[in-house]
Amino acid sequence: MKTLKNLLIVTVITSIFSCSSDDDNRIIDPGNGGGVITENELKGEISEDATLSASIEYTLTGSFTINEGATLTIEPGTVIKAKSGRTDVFLAVERGAKLIAKGTAEKPIKFTSDASSPKAGDWGGIVIAGRAKSNKGVDVQSEVAGLLYGGTDDADNSGELSYIIAEYTGAKINGEQEFNGISFFGVGNGTVVNNIVVSNGNDDGVEFFGGSVNVTNVYCANIADDMFDWTGGYTGTITNAFGVRNDGFDAATDDPRGIEGDSNSSDPTAAPISTPTLKNVTILNLNPDVALKAGAEIRRGTQAIISNVLFAAYGNASFGNRIDTKDDKGNGSLTITNAASQGNVGEDKIGGDITGTVTTITDGITVTADNTLTTKAGVGADLSAFNWANQSFVVTKLN
């Protein structure tokens, strides 16, 4: 694989875009051997290796697809602004393609809206397809972006995402097709994913459709639907996950949740069954006007393991249920250890088995006199892992 240094050595060509008569289907051609894309508009397809430079502020104006066999490298500190108000604006990675987006704590890579007053759902999001197993099949079409995904290679490698911020995502095409912040379709565990933030999303924060990719340090803030979601036989591990709804973020579906875990709604016994492992998780609601339907809804054949988890509602905020394993399309089962809850988080709704108990505590989440939110060490997610993202909290303090 070419390194970033090698890509930057390539002479930058003066004419980057090769446009067809139909501009919507144009090919972005960085030249044989790769090169830096110097035009600031991103739209179309990449069929050769290419690099986005941190020295250029790019605008994503349509679908931007990395074709099979090509690699797109994004330099640390790069900012990509998506054209707002469109459902056809997204970044897609085909099976056999790679996205190497390696930001740093000092220079994260940011995907955001170009609107002067951005809001949830301004653009689509990031969609990655791979060749790992799915209980939907081996050549399944993704819900959005029209990519094929699935296969037999759980070690498939779609690249790396590190220190990524994706905000104002979740454009809704119709009632059945909605973008998430980052969607992983059959992505394999050869892919590296760590230190990612999704905020102000109009559907789910991150969702896994089958696959085996592991994710470390993932933060979802202000998500209209589910913060963390999986389906289709997902078998990866999620480590250090923090999800929060701030006071004042009122965009919500009918059933927003912290965690929603499915396996297969048509056949809950279909193989592979979703069997993810989650470690060090906090689900937090700070908004008294929008209740989370559940802290964790584990259903439709899913068999999940969650260790060191905190379900917390601060002040007058609430959950409908803490844990829900009951569903008319198939119950789920959950094994929990070192589980705690704080505040009005509802009762457990048991359909499938819940192994383990949840301890009630009062100090997992605290708010200091200056309205700063802190988390108790060793309980749930480690919030300090996201200091690089400068995340903030909106809390209505009680008199």
Q: Please tell me the distance from the alpha carbon of residue 226 to that of residue 293, in angstroms, as a whole number.
A: 10
Q: What is the chain's pLDDT, residue by residue, as a tens digit (399 residues)?
A: 333 333 332 333 333 333 333 444 455 655 444 688 988 999 999 999 999 999 999 999 999 999 999 999 999 999 999 999 989 999 999 999 999 999 999 999 999 999 999 999 999 999 999 999 999 999 999 999 999 999 999 999 999 999 999 999 999 887 678 899 999 999 999 999 999 999 999 999 999 999 999 999 999 999 999 999 999 999 999 999 999 999 999 999 999 999 999 999 999 999 999 999 999 999 999 999 999 999 999 999 999 999 999 999 999 999 999 999 999 999 999 999 999 999 999 999 999 999 999 999 999 999 887 778 999 999 999 999 999 999 889 887 553
The structure tokens listed for 324 are 């829900």
The pair phi, psi for residue 387, each rounded to 5°, is -60, -30
Burial of 392 (0-12, 13-18, 19+ CB in 10 A): exposed
Contact 269, 232 (CB under 8 A): no
Nearest 10 degrees: Cα torsion 74, 76, 77, 83:
20
72 lies in some domain: yes
The pair phi, psi for residue 19, each rounded to 5°, is -100, 135
Alpha helical stretches, state H, 126-205: none
Give every CB contact of residue 169 below 8 A, 6+ residues apart in sequence.
111, 120, 121, 122, 123, 124, 125, 126, 179, 180, 181, 198, 200, 201, 202, 203
- What pLDDT score was predicted for residue 22? 41
Contact 231, 209 (CB under 8 A): yes
- What pLDDT score was predicted for residue 49? 97
Q: Please tell me the distance from the alpha carbon of residue 91 to that of residue 60, in angstroms, as a whole number.
A: 8
Q: Please tell me the distance from the alpha carbon of residue 302 to that of residue 269, in angstroms, as a whole number.
A: 9
| Number of other residues whose CB lies within 10 A of the CB of residue 216 | 18
| Number of other residues whose CB lies within 10 A of the CB of residue 88 | 16
4 lies in some domain: no
The structure tokens listed for 277 are 């492992």
Closest CA to 343 of 325, 369, 365: 365
Give SS3 for 382: coil
Q: Please tell me the distance from the alpha carbon of residue 4 to that of residue 273, in angstroms, as a whole number.
A: 38
Alpha helical stretches, state H, the chain: 4-9
Residue type present at position 28: I
384 lies in some domain: yes
2 lies in some domain: no
Closest CA to 159 of 46, 68, 29, 272: 68
What letter would DSSP give residue 6? H
398 lies in some domain: no
Q: Domain total for the chain?
A: 1
6 lies in some domain: no
5 lies in some domain: no
Closest CA to 222 of 307, 285, 316: 285
Vertex 66, ends 60 and 68: CA angle to 5°?
170
The structure tokens listed for 394 are 């909106």
Residue type present at position 74: I
Query: Cα separations (Å) of 231 from 31, 225, 273?
Result: 39, 15, 9
The pair phi, psi for residue 9, each rounded to 5°, is -70, -25
347 lies in some domain: yes
Domain hosting 189: range is 12-389
What letter would DSSP give residue 83? P
Alpha helical stretches, state H, 118-265: none
pTM of the prediction?
0.92
Contact 42, 90 (CB under 8 A): no
